Amino acid sequence: MAERLTKSAARTVFFGGSAFFFAIFVGLTAHSHYYIVTRSTDTATLTDSVARGKHVWEKNSCINCHTLLGEGAYYAPEIGNVWVRWGGDKDPAQAREMLKSWMASQPSGVEGRRQMPQFHLSDQEVNDLADFLEWTSRIKTQSWPPNSAG
């Protein structure tokens, strides 16, 4: 048995290993795409108001302070489960009113507390944002966030 790896054997190991791991990468990519398209995203309820709500989210740069399903800044609470935290899964009208009241009361002026700016959203924008937050609450997140407090 040879004591060292020949150039030909090293080339074979390199190309064989590269092909193997490339095949694994393609397989995992296909699996992730399948999961996202068929299992986690609720495309049946993706409406124009949800899209407008996402536009409100982006226009006001909410992600600069909040996280949405773990993505964004960790300055303010996670928003992906706020709909459930505010009881929207049981009473959607009450959760919408809570969101509207919360947005209208900002900044709260509580001493020592982080302040959310006043965005002066219209009723339509608040309803669209509520639709977006309701839609994100139905995404199957595999138990994210790890606690319900956000």
pLDDT in tens, 124-144: 999 999 999 999 988 888 787
pTM of the model: 0.75
113's CB contacts (< 8 A; 6+ apart) are none
Token output for 60:
């006001």
Beta strands in the chain (DSSP E): 67-68, 71-72
Largest CA distance in the chain: 79
pLDDT in tens, 89-105: 999 999 999 999 999 99
Tell me phi and psi for residue 72, to 5 degrees: 125, -165
For 46-109+118-150, CATH gives: 1.10.760.10
- Let me know: does 66 contact 145? Beta carbons within 8 Å: no
- Classified as helix, coil or strand, 147 is coil
Give me the residue spans of the domains in the chain: 8-40, 46-109+118-150
